[in-house]
Amino acid sequence: MGEQLNVGVIGLGVMGQRMLARLAAHQRLQAVAVWDADPAAIAKTLQTWPDLRAADSAADLIATAGLHSLYIATPPAPHMTLSELAFDAGLAVFCEKPLTVDFVAASACIARIERDNLRAAVNFALASAPGLAQLQAAFGSNSSMPLGALSEVQLELAFAAWPRPWQAAAGTWLSERIEGGFTREVLSHFIFALQRVLGPAVVKHSLASYPTDGRSAETDLQALLQIGAVTVQISGRVGGKLADQNLMLWRAAAGEIELGEWFSRFEQRGGSKPQGLSGDLRQAAHSDQLDQWVALIEGQPHSLPGYAEALAVQQTIEALLTP
């Protein structure tokens, strides 16, 4: 086992708290300092994790001696500023999505990353899912196409409410159309998977429905994408019977692959070896993601999506939401 790698966490809402719990169970990554714009969030975090140091500001946390990486779990607006400060301090950055609200700033940040060979990645959890590896084996650019040519992908998302009850501590931004909504927060994970396997998507049609208050995020999205010869049908809605439901079907000439529950359920039908994946696939993905984060910090090859890939996902997402 290598040396301990110290992580600073900025943003102590739902995602920040979840990451702190995951880091506490990892052999090498260890959270050592935290900060949030809300003093109450800091106080609550220190009650749970009394060994953490509470920084006086974001800049103070980034300047923490012995820090190896920064995890950014704030709303999107400050992501680029915090990333740039972390790069100035020589840190590897692991950032939540959506990546940005400022495409110009994000493009400049990506240019710096590429020019200076900086270490940065974005938290699309499906990057470490075993189901994604199966999709790449079946339909990726290096695949032998065991199920034949892919013709269609169907994706269905449904939520009993938005934001979901467990997201209440994340703040009001998730419920508002400027930064939030299920398209940016959830659909983006599946657009990432699509584009990682197949390449850039073109929005052929999209219709989002919104509440009449002029502020709240979308409650329904119906869309059609095109990736080469593959059509992608998307249906998302708030008001489903289950709290969080997602189903993705990849249909090819000689079979199909169905993935559900955040790729934790996988079934292949057709081909020479119809198969399903079993076991706790989400836990395996979480564990692998942290190991990939270690590789990022150490400058080794990893499977985490970089800022350029994350921006490409967000460009597709914003095109879906553009009237």
Count of structural domains, the chain: 2
Could you say which of 122, 145, 180 is where a domain stops?
Answer: 122
For residues 4 and 294, what is the distance between their CA atoms, to the nearest angstrom? 10
| 138 lies in the same domain as 116 | no
Residue 242 has pLDDT above 80, yes or no: no
Residues 16 and 57 both lie in one domain: yes
What per-residue confidence (pLDDT) applies to 277?
A: 59
**Strands across the sheet with 53-54, in order?**
53-54, 29-35, 5-10, 69-72, 92-95, 120-122
What are the Cα distances from residue 164, in Å, to 158, 170, 238, 244, 295? 11, 10, 10, 8, 32
d(CA 277, CA 237): 28
Predicted confidence at residue 260, as pLDDT, reads: 92
Same domain flag for 67 and 194:
no
pLDDT of residue 2: 80
What does the pLDDT average to over 142-147?
Answer: 92
Mean pLDDT of 250-263: 94
Are 132 and 262 members of one domain?
yes
Span 39-53, average pLDDT: 97
Cα-Cα-Cα-Cα dihedral sign, residues 282, 247, 321, 203: positive
pLDDT at 278: 54
Residue 78: which domain range?
5-122
In this structure, what token pair is assigned to residue 206? 């999209």
Dihedral sign (CA 316, 318, 321, 323): negative
Q: Of 122, 155, 170, which closes a domain?
A: 122
pLDDT at res. 281: 61
pLDDT at 287: 83
First to last CA, the chain: 52
The label of the residue with tokens 């869309």 reads: 223
Write b or e for each residue in 64-92: b if 16 or more Cβ atoms lie within 10 A of its Cβ, otherwise e. Answer: beebbbbbbbbbbebbbebbbbbbebebb
